[in-house]
Amino acid sequence: MPVANDLQRGAPRHPHRLRVTGAILIIAAIVTVWSLRVMAGRPVYVSELGETGAATAPWFNASLIGIALGGTLIALGTRSVRSTTRWLSAWPVAATLVFACVMFALASQVTCTPGCPVPFTAGSTVQDLVHTSSAVLGFAAGGYACIQVAFLRHRRRLARISAVAGISMLLVASVGGLLSVAQLGTDIGGLLEFTAMTIALAWLAVYGLTATDADAAPAAEPSIEVAGLAPESV
């Protein structure tokens, strides 16, 4: 059908492969980061695995690159997804994910100094400020993408999963972040930070694996109707 072809013009040729590959990279990153935490042999915050001079740094920073690449592939494979709530639909979910991926890639290249001091505290440097800012912005963007998907009316099951994941990330990350800033309870704060990271990455993998090929196509003009196409209700 000519109209259907017009709707697909500009879409990736194999969006399913992009999404699955991206999800595999995300899952691999989760396994790698938790393995590195065990190898560290002590309570640590996430960024400490990649701090300058750490034995785990090469693998951890490679995992951040894997997250950035995997998230970008998922974004390319779901580029037409846009929240159905007006105040969340200014740009597509894919744009939010790409921004998050750029921030994580930056965090992988600008690591924190030994001990990962909180910016603007004793011993912190510009390097710590850049790393922390990029990591926080990346995580925040990932959380925003989760909220955008939570308000998809035509993907109710995925919307519910996203809402639960988003709320969980907010609560867990808030407590972990406060403990990190206060430099208290590294054992509990670090575990909460790893947990929030895992929830965010697991959600992204689920999002990539449950998307459809229609999610990769450019959005149709409101005036165009294609016979036989119905909204996806999953």
In-domain check, residue 61: yes
Residue that has been written with the tokens 């995992």 in this structure: 63
pLDDT at site 225: 39
In-domain check, residue 234: no
pLDDT at site 175: 84
Contacts of 62 (CB under 8 A, 6+ apart): 32, 108
In-domain check, residue 84: yes
In-domain check, residue 7: no
Q: What value, to the nearest 5°, has the Cα angle with vertex 118 and ends 112 and 120?
A: 110
In-domain check, residue 230: no
Full domain range(s) for residue 21: 14-216
Enumerate the H helices of the chain as residue ranges.
2-8, 15-40, 57-76, 93-109, 126-150, 156-181, 186-210
Looking at the whole model, is its pTM more than 0.95?
A: no
CB 118 within 8 A of CB 182: no
CB 227 within 8 A of CB 20: no
In-domain check, residue 137: yes
The span from the CA of 89 to the CA of 151, in Å, is 10
pLDDT at site 230: 44
In-domain check, residue 157: yes
The span from the CA of 8 to the CA of 230, in Å, is 16
Residue 146: burial class (beta carbons within 10 Å; 0-12, 13-18, 19+)? buried
pLDDT at site 171: 92
The span from the CA of 116 to the CA of 136, in Å, is 14
Please name which of 50, 82, 218, 75 lies closest in space to residue 142, comparing C-alpha atoms: 75
In the chain, the number of structural domains is 1
Q: Is 201 left (phi over 0), alpha (psi -120 to 50) or beta?
A: alpha
Please name which of 21, 175, 187, 48 lies closest in space to residue 113, comparing C-alpha atoms: 48
Q: Give me the average pLDDT of each 10-residue run along the chain (234 residues).
A: 40 84 98 95 90 95 97 94 89 96 97 91 93 95 95 89 94 79 70 93 96 63 40 47
In-domain check, residue 231: no
